[in-house]
């Protein structure tokens, strides 16, 4: 029997972007509870955490979903670029 099995592991190599390492590290250090479906938590992980469930009113869930979708959509919108100035005749040198 395995005494202390590894539930998951992250491996960063020398080519892993620093911003990705920083984001993962920050997420791991965040003490905010993570909402999860209790039926989808693996047994090994369930033994190492506290699970609390509570019901939320449907309007709260709809609002949260709409806000999340808007946030994700805004993140994936192409950046608007300024239109380049019209091409005119090239300036001539004078003597």
pLDDT tens string 27-75: 888 888 777 777 887 777 777 777 777 787 888 888 888 888 888 888 7
The pLDDT score that the predictor gives to residue 80 is: 65
pTM exceeding the 0.95 threshold for the entire prediction: no
Q: CA 2 to CA 50: how far, in whole Å?
A: 21
Across the chain, which distance is largest between two alpha carbons, in Å?
Answer: 91
Residue 44 CA: distances (Å) to CA of 14, 48, 81, 85: 31, 7, 49, 61
pLDDT tens per residue, range 15-32: 999 999 999 999 888 888
């Amino acid at each position: 029997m395995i005494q202390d099995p590894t539930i998951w592991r992250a491996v960063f190599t020398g080519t892993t972007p620093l911003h990705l390492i920083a984001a993962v590290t920050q997420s791991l250090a965040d003490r905010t509870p993570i909402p999860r479906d209790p039926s989808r938590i693996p047994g090994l992980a369930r033994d190492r955490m506290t699970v609390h469930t509570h019901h939320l009113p449907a309007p709260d869930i709809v609002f949260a979903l709409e806000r999340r979708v808007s946030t994700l959509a805004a993140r994936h919108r192409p950046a608007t670029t300024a239109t380049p100035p019209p091409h005119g005749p090239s300036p001539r040198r004078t003597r």
